[in-house]
Structure 1
Protein backbone atom coordinates (compact mmCIF):
# COMPACT_ATOMS: atom_id res chain seq x y z
CA UNK A 1 0.00 0.00 0.00
CA UNK A 2 2.86 2.36 0.82
CA UNK A 3 4.40 1.67 -2.61
CA UNK A 4 1.13 2.50 -4.40
CA UNK A 5 0.75 5.72 -2.40
CA UNK A 6 4.40 6.68 -3.03
CA UNK A 7 3.98 5.98 -6.76
CA UNK A 8 0.82 8.08 -7.02
CA UNK A 9 2.42 10.88 -4.97
CA UNK A 10 5.54 10.86 -7.18
CA UNK A 11 3.48 11.00 -10.39
CA UNK A 12 1.40 13.85 -8.97
CA UNK A 13 4.50 15.84 -8.06
CA UNK A 14 6.08 15.32 -11.48
CA UNK A 15 3.01 16.47 -13.39
CA UNK A 16 2.41 19.44 -11.13
CA UNK A 17 5.93 20.73 -11.80
CA UNK A 18 5.41 21.31 -15.51
CA UNK A 19 5.32 24.97 -16.38
CA UNK A 20 2.37 26.15 -18.42
CA UNK A 21 2.49 29.55 -20.06
CA UNK A 22 -0.76 31.43 -20.35
CA UNK A 23 -1.83 31.98 -23.93
CA UNK A 24 -1.28 35.62 -24.88
CA UNK A 25 -4.39 37.72 -25.36
CA UNK A 26 -4.77 38.60 -29.08
CA UNK A 27 -5.95 42.05 -28.00
CA UNK A 28 -2.32 43.06 -27.36
CA UNK A 29 -1.52 42.32 -31.00
CA UNK A 30 -4.62 44.18 -32.20
CA UNK A 31 -3.47 47.14 -30.08
CA UNK A 32 0.03 46.98 -31.61
CA UNK A 33 -1.45 46.96 -35.12
CA UNK A 34 -3.74 49.90 -34.29
CA UNK A 35 -0.77 51.83 -32.83
CA UNK A 36 1.15 51.11 -36.06
CA UNK A 37 -1.72 52.53 -38.14
CA UNK A 38 -2.11 55.57 -35.88
CA UNK A 39 1.63 56.24 -36.18
CA UNK A 40 1.31 56.05 -39.97
CA UNK A 41 -1.48 58.62 -39.97
CA UNK A 42 0.35 60.97 -37.60
CA UNK A 43 3.99 60.65 -38.80
CA UNK A 44 3.74 59.27 -42.32
CA UNK A 45 3.92 55.87 -43.96
CA UNK A 46 7.69 55.65 -44.20
CA UNK A 47 8.40 56.56 -40.57
CA UNK A 48 5.74 54.13 -39.36
CA UNK A 49 7.00 51.22 -41.43
CA UNK A 50 10.55 51.85 -40.20
CA UNK A 51 9.57 52.43 -36.55
CA UNK A 52 7.54 49.23 -36.19
CA UNK A 53 9.83 46.97 -38.28
CA UNK A 54 11.93 44.16 -36.88
CA UNK A 55 15.52 44.08 -38.18
CA UNK A 56 14.67 40.95 -40.20
CA UNK A 57 11.54 42.42 -41.80
CA UNK A 58 10.27 41.28 -45.22
CA UNK A 59 7.88 43.45 -47.22
CA UNK A 60 6.04 42.01 -50.20
CA UNK A 61 4.81 44.67 -52.59
CA UNK A 62 3.15 44.31 -56.00
CA UNK A 63 5.38 44.19 -59.06
CA UNK A 64 8.70 44.26 -57.20
CA UNK A 65 11.15 41.98 -55.47
CA UNK A 66 10.72 41.50 -51.70
CA UNK A 67 12.35 44.10 -49.48
CA UNK A 68 14.39 42.10 -46.98
CA UNK A 69 15.83 43.63 -43.81
CA UNK A 70 15.27 46.93 -42.07
CA UNK A 71 18.32 48.56 -43.68
CA UNK A 72 16.99 47.73 -47.16
CA UNK A 73 13.58 49.04 -46.11
CA UNK A 74 15.17 52.35 -45.13
CA UNK A 75 17.10 52.46 -48.43
CA UNK A 76 13.89 51.78 -50.39
CA UNK A 77 12.44 55.05 -49.05
CA UNK A 78 15.46 57.23 -49.89
CA UNK A 79 14.49 60.12 -52.14
CA UNK A 80 10.79 59.34 -51.90
CA UNK A 81 8.16 61.50 -50.25
CA UNK A 82 4.99 60.37 -48.57
CA UNK A 83 3.64 63.85 -47.89
CA UNK A 84 0.12 64.42 -49.12
CA UNK A 85 -0.91 60.78 -48.71
CA UNK A 86 -2.31 58.88 -45.76
CA UNK A 87 -2.30 55.14 -45.21
CA UNK A 88 -4.41 53.76 -42.39
CA UNK A 89 -5.78 50.34 -41.58
CA UNK A 90 -8.11 48.52 -39.24
CA UNK A 91 -7.23 45.02 -38.08
CA UNK A 92 -10.10 42.55 -38.32
CA UNK A 93 -8.44 39.71 -36.43
CA UNK A 94 -5.29 38.83 -34.51
CA UNK A 95 -3.91 35.39 -33.77
CA UNK A 96 -1.01 34.71 -31.39
CA UNK A 97 0.93 31.44 -31.32
CA UNK A 98 0.77 29.36 -28.17
CA UNK A 99 4.39 30.32 -27.45
CA UNK A 100 3.26 33.97 -27.18
CA UNK A 101 6.16 35.18 -29.34
CA UNK A 102 4.67 35.18 -32.85
CA UNK A 103 1.35 36.20 -34.30
CA UNK A 104 -0.39 37.78 -37.23
CA UNK A 105 -3.06 40.33 -37.95
CA UNK A 106 -5.15 40.90 -41.04
CA UNK A 107 -7.62 43.56 -41.95
CA UNK A 108 -8.54 46.41 -44.25
CA UNK A 109 -6.46 49.38 -45.38
CA UNK A 110 -7.37 52.77 -46.83
CA UNK A 111 -4.99 54.90 -48.88
CA UNK A 112 -5.96 58.54 -49.38
CA UNK A 113 -4.37 61.01 -51.80
CA UNK A 114 -5.51 64.49 -52.75
CA UNK A 115 -7.49 63.08 -55.68
CA UNK A 116 -8.31 59.46 -54.84
CA UNK A 117 -9.09 56.93 -52.13
CA UNK A 118 -8.39 53.23 -52.49
CA UNK A 119 -9.03 50.25 -50.25
CA UNK A 120 -7.65 46.77 -49.82
CA UNK A 121 -6.70 43.99 -47.48
CA UNK A 122 -3.45 43.22 -45.69
CA UNK A 123 -1.73 40.67 -43.50
CA UNK A 124 1.09 41.41 -41.07
CA UNK A 125 3.21 38.86 -39.21
CA UNK A 126 4.46 39.98 -35.80
CA UNK A 127 7.26 38.91 -33.45
CA UNK A 128 7.77 39.94 -29.85
CA UNK A 129 11.23 41.47 -29.37
CA UNK A 130 13.51 40.99 -26.35
CA UNK A 131 11.92 44.02 -24.65
CA UNK A 132 8.42 42.57 -25.03
CA UNK A 133 7.39 44.93 -27.84
CA UNK A 134 5.66 43.62 -30.95
CA UNK A 135 7.55 44.34 -34.20
CA UNK A 136 6.35 43.26 -37.61
CA UNK A 137 8.52 40.77 -39.47
CA UNK A 138 6.46 40.43 -42.66
CA UNK A 139 3.82 42.56 -44.31
CA UNK A 140 1.83 42.38 -47.50
CA UNK A 141 -1.36 43.85 -48.86
CA UNK A 142 -3.39 44.07 -52.00
CA UNK A 143 -6.16 46.05 -53.52
CA UNK A 144 -9.39 44.27 -52.99
CA UNK A 145 -12.41 44.04 -50.83
CA UNK A 146 -12.68 46.43 -47.94
CA UNK A 147 -14.89 46.71 -44.92
CA UNK A 148 -16.62 49.71 -46.48
Structure 2
Protein backbone atom coordinates (compact mmCIF):
# COMPACT_ATOMS: atom_id res chain seq x y z
CA UNK A 1 0.00 0.00 0.00
CA UNK A 2 2.76 2.48 0.86
CA UNK A 3 4.36 1.62 -2.47
CA UNK A 4 1.20 2.84 -4.29
CA UNK A 5 1.03 6.02 -2.23
CA UNK A 6 4.67 6.74 -3.10
CA UNK A 7 4.03 6.12 -6.83
CA UNK A 8 0.94 8.36 -6.82
CA UNK A 9 2.83 11.11 -4.97
CA UNK A 10 5.67 10.97 -7.51
CA UNK A 11 3.19 11.08 -10.41
CA UNK A 12 1.43 14.09 -8.90
CA UNK A 13 4.71 15.94 -8.40
CA UNK A 14 5.90 15.17 -11.93
CA UNK A 15 2.58 16.28 -13.46
CA UNK A 16 2.77 19.60 -11.58
CA UNK A 17 6.02 20.52 -13.28
CA UNK A 18 5.63 23.57 -15.52
CA UNK A 19 5.94 22.66 -19.20
CA UNK A 20 9.23 23.70 -20.74
CA UNK A 21 9.08 26.47 -23.31
CA UNK A 22 11.41 26.26 -26.22
CA UNK A 23 14.35 28.55 -25.57
CA UNK A 24 14.25 31.76 -27.53
CA UNK A 25 17.12 32.69 -29.75
CA UNK A 26 17.87 36.36 -29.04
CA UNK A 27 19.57 36.89 -32.40
CA UNK A 28 16.63 35.39 -34.33
CA UNK A 29 14.14 37.49 -32.37
CA UNK A 30 16.12 40.67 -32.99
CA UNK A 31 16.25 39.90 -36.72
CA UNK A 32 12.50 39.21 -36.76
CA UNK A 33 11.81 42.53 -35.04
CA UNK A 34 14.05 44.45 -37.45
CA UNK A 35 12.24 42.77 -40.36
CA UNK A 36 8.87 43.72 -38.88
CA UNK A 37 9.93 47.37 -38.64
CA UNK A 38 11.31 47.30 -42.20
CA UNK A 39 8.05 45.75 -43.48
CA UNK A 40 6.11 48.44 -41.59
CA UNK A 41 8.11 51.14 -43.39
CA UNK A 42 7.76 49.40 -46.78
CA UNK A 43 3.97 49.29 -46.34
CA UNK A 44 3.98 53.00 -45.49
CA UNK A 45 5.78 53.76 -48.75
CA UNK A 46 3.65 51.36 -50.80
CA UNK A 47 0.15 52.03 -49.43
CA UNK A 48 0.50 55.11 -47.24
CA UNK A 49 1.27 55.92 -43.64
CA UNK A 50 -2.34 55.52 -42.52
CA UNK A 51 -2.67 51.97 -43.90
CA UNK A 52 0.68 50.96 -42.42
CA UNK A 53 -0.10 52.27 -38.94
CA UNK A 54 -3.58 50.72 -38.91
CA UNK A 55 -2.00 47.38 -39.90
CA UNK A 56 0.88 47.47 -37.41
CA UNK A 57 -0.52 49.34 -34.38
CA UNK A 58 -1.56 47.08 -31.49
CA UNK A 59 -5.22 47.41 -30.48
CA UNK A 60 -4.04 49.09 -27.26
CA UNK A 61 -1.22 50.96 -28.99
CA UNK A 62 -0.19 54.49 -28.02
CA UNK A 63 0.79 57.32 -30.36
CA UNK A 64 2.87 60.18 -28.94
CA UNK A 65 2.48 63.25 -31.13
CA UNK A 66 3.82 66.78 -30.64
CA UNK A 67 1.41 69.12 -28.90
CA UNK A 68 -1.02 66.34 -27.92
CA UNK A 69 -1.68 64.07 -25.01
CA UNK A 70 -0.97 60.38 -25.67
CA UNK A 71 -3.49 58.91 -28.12
CA UNK A 72 -4.43 55.42 -26.94
CA UNK A 73 -6.12 52.33 -28.37
CA UNK A 74 -9.33 52.97 -30.31
CA UNK A 75 -8.67 56.72 -30.15
CA UNK A 76 -5.33 56.12 -31.88
CA UNK A 77 -7.06 54.18 -34.65
CA UNK A 78 -9.67 56.95 -35.02
CA UNK A 79 -6.86 59.53 -35.15
CA UNK A 80 -5.13 57.56 -37.91
CA UNK A 81 -8.32 57.10 -39.93
CA UNK A 82 -8.80 60.88 -39.98
CA UNK A 83 -5.30 61.49 -41.39
CA UNK A 84 -4.87 62.44 -45.03
CA UNK A 85 -1.60 60.88 -46.13
CA UNK A 86 -1.92 61.37 -49.88
CA UNK A 87 0.33 64.45 -49.98
CA UNK A 88 3.51 62.91 -48.61
CA UNK A 89 5.59 59.76 -48.25
CA UNK A 90 6.86 58.59 -44.87
CA UNK A 91 9.55 55.96 -44.63
CA UNK A 92 12.14 55.02 -42.06
CA UNK A 93 15.12 52.79 -41.47
CA UNK A 94 15.60 51.02 -38.17
CA UNK A 95 19.15 51.33 -36.91
CA UNK A 96 18.88 48.81 -34.10
CA UNK A 97 16.50 46.58 -32.19
CA UNK A 98 16.43 45.10 -28.72
CA UNK A 99 14.22 42.24 -27.55
CA UNK A 100 13.37 41.26 -23.97
CA UNK A 101 14.64 37.96 -22.60
CA UNK A 102 11.08 36.61 -22.75
CA UNK A 103 10.90 37.72 -26.42
CA UNK A 104 7.46 39.27 -26.00
CA UNK A 105 8.53 42.94 -25.94
CA UNK A 106 11.12 44.86 -27.87
CA UNK A 107 11.96 48.21 -29.34
CA UNK A 108 13.45 49.63 -32.51
CA UNK A 109 14.84 53.05 -33.23
CA UNK A 110 16.15 54.82 -36.26
CA UNK A 111 15.75 57.68 -38.70
CA UNK A 112 12.68 58.62 -40.69
CA UNK A 113 12.26 60.69 -43.85
CA UNK A 114 9.10 62.64 -44.63
CA UNK A 115 8.83 63.85 -48.20
CA UNK A 116 5.93 66.06 -49.24
CA UNK A 117 4.79 65.17 -52.75
CA UNK A 118 4.86 68.75 -54.03
CA UNK A 119 8.41 69.76 -53.10
CA UNK A 120 11.87 68.23 -53.35
CA UNK A 121 12.71 68.86 -49.70
CA UNK A 122 12.93 65.90 -47.34
CA UNK A 123 12.41 66.33 -43.59
CA UNK A 124 14.33 63.95 -41.34
CA UNK A 125 13.80 62.92 -37.75
CA UNK A 126 14.36 60.11 -35.29
CA UNK A 127 11.84 57.62 -33.99
CA UNK A 128 11.40 54.84 -31.48
CA UNK A 129 8.80 52.09 -31.57
CA UNK A 130 8.06 49.77 -28.69
CA UNK A 131 6.78 46.45 -30.00
CA UNK A 132 4.65 43.71 -28.46
CA UNK A 133 4.62 40.16 -29.78
CA UNK A 134 1.12 38.89 -30.48
CA UNK A 135 -0.20 35.39 -29.74
CA UNK A 136 0.25 34.50 -33.43
CA UNK A 137 3.95 35.46 -33.25
CA UNK A 138 3.61 38.72 -35.20
CA UNK A 139 5.01 41.96 -33.80
CA UNK A 140 2.71 44.98 -33.34
CA UNK A 141 3.60 48.51 -32.28
CA UNK A 142 2.66 49.19 -28.66
CA UNK A 143 4.03 52.76 -28.67
CA UNK A 144 5.19 55.05 -31.48
CA UNK A 145 7.06 58.30 -31.01
CA UNK A 146 9.29 60.49 -33.13
CA UNK A 147 11.25 63.71 -33.05
CA UNK A 148 11.60 65.94 -36.07
CA UNK A 149 14.39 68.18 -37.14
CA UNK A 150 17.70 66.46 -37.70
CA UNK A 151 20.12 67.49 -40.42
CA UNK A 152 20.62 64.96 -43.21
CA UNK A 153 24.38 65.51 -43.06
CA UNK A 154 24.42 63.98 -39.57
CA UNK A 155 23.85 60.41 -40.83
CA UNK A 156 23.77 58.07 -43.83
CA UNK A 157 20.20 57.40 -44.89
TM-score, with length taken from structure 1? 0.81
Per-residue deviation, 1:79? 4.1
Kindly indicate whether residue 124 of structure 2 is the aligned counterpart of residue 119 of structure 1. yes
CA contact (8 A) 2:53 2:80 kept: no
CA contact (8 A) 2:115 2:122 kept: yes
SS of 1:34 mapped into structure 2: helix
Which residue matches 2:137?
Answer: 132
* Aligned pair partner of 1:99 in 98, 102, 112: 102
Kindly indicate whether residue 14 of structure 2 is the aligned counterpart of residue 28 of structure 1. no
User: Distance in 2 between the 1:19 and 1:52 partners?
Assistant: 27
Residues 21, 78 of structure 1: alpha-carbon distance in 2 compared, 3 angstrom cutoff: closer
Alignment of 1:44-83 (within 5 A): 44-69=48-73, 71-83=74-86
User: Distance in 1 between the 2:96 and 2:149 partners?
Assistant: 17
Greater shift, 89-98 or 111-120, is seen at 111-120
TM-score, with length taken from structure 2? 0.77
User: Distance in 2 between the 1:118 and 1:40 partners?
Assistant: 16
Which residue matches 1:40?
Answer: 44
Per-residue deviation, 1:73? 1.8
User: Distance in 1 between the 2:24 and 2:81 partners?
Assistant: 42
Greater shift, 76-85 or 17-26, is seen at 17-26
What is the alpha-carbon root mean square deviation over aligned residues? 1.8
Structure 1 residues without counterparts, runs of 5 or longer:
1-16
